[in-house]
Amino acid sequence: MLAQPGRKRCSSIVATTLVDYNKRRPLPVGPARPWKEGGHRQGSIGSHGAACYDHALESESCCPKSSGLILGSIMLVVQVSDSHLIESEDGLLYGINTLNTFRQAVESIGRMSPRPDLILHTGDLAEDGSLAAYRRLDQLFQGLAIPYVWIPGNHDSLPAMAAALPISPKRWVRDNWQFVLVSSKLEGEETHDGMVSPQELDHLRESLQQARHPTVVAIHHHPIPVFSRWLDEGYPLRNADEFVNIVERFPCCKIVLFGHVHQEVDRVQHGIRYLCAPSTFEQFQPRTETLVRDPRLPGFRVLDLAPDGTFETHILRYELA
């Protein structure tokens, strides 16, 4: 079950009852971080961006539709991450039924009031890349009747995702916010490392260079250190510096969402808020030399995005049945 943590930014609480999410609020007070259209902090950039993962082109038909919110209202976005579903409905992963933990996340999202406008899954939807896992995930999300988008994680299979899931756009604008999805999945290698391809880096540059709106960038692998050596050195984003150098050159980039590390992260670096959601599966204890499982409950991140580029965010965690 969920509780609303008093509208404090980045609160993390365990819920015992589901209470009404506050009514959509007036715009947060304070100036938005300014930017110039197409502006960046240094140098000049030219690029040719991809449109949608692999085979899809950006279009109205594949972009999440606007909810029709009036100017001055808040867009509510939920970030879900690292669900690690498997082929067997009753199977266990490290002693945990990941379908049950994910189903409870979906049910918790469904009880939110007001309803979210968008769900963004930041990767590792499945552990084994099976069609059955993606079909179950899609069925549960479709039952919410809330638009959802996804990016692949290191455990995911792009062919299976393409066969089982709706196409996710790589870039779109909704309610005065731009969203840019970036893949860090390494194809053809037996590794859990990540790397952003030259084509994906071009897509990112072009999207930010042309931006006329405050922007959320989403990627699976952590682009900044999380100070757990086994993650930072053992399962890194290989070209994190290239990614960070791009996003930090463009003042339009407000938020970078990521997954992969199974823990809440909230850090400001060069004016950008780097945010990670907990896993809906299991948590990793922060700042450790080796993998240590964390008893904290699963959860997801909620973002309230205002049209002027300001925002609030917090974590909601839910009890396991």
CATH 3.40.50.10490 fits 12-22+37-317, yes or no: no
pTM given for the model: 0.79
pLDDT digits (tens, 9 = 90+) for 297-313: 999 999 999 999 999 99
State the DSSP code for 100.
Answer: H
The mean pLDDT value of the chain amounts to: 81
Domain ranges of the chain: 12-22+37-317
SS3 296: coil
Chain centroid, CA 107 distance in Å: 19
pLDDT digits (tens, 9 = 90+) for 134-170: 999 999 999 999 999 999 999 999 999 999 999 999 9
State the DSSP code for 280.
Answer: S
pLDDT digits (tens, 9 = 90+) for 225-243: 999 999 999 999 999 999 9
Q: What are phi and psi of 76, to 5 degrees?
A: -100, 115
In angstroms, the CA 230 to CA 103 distance is: 29
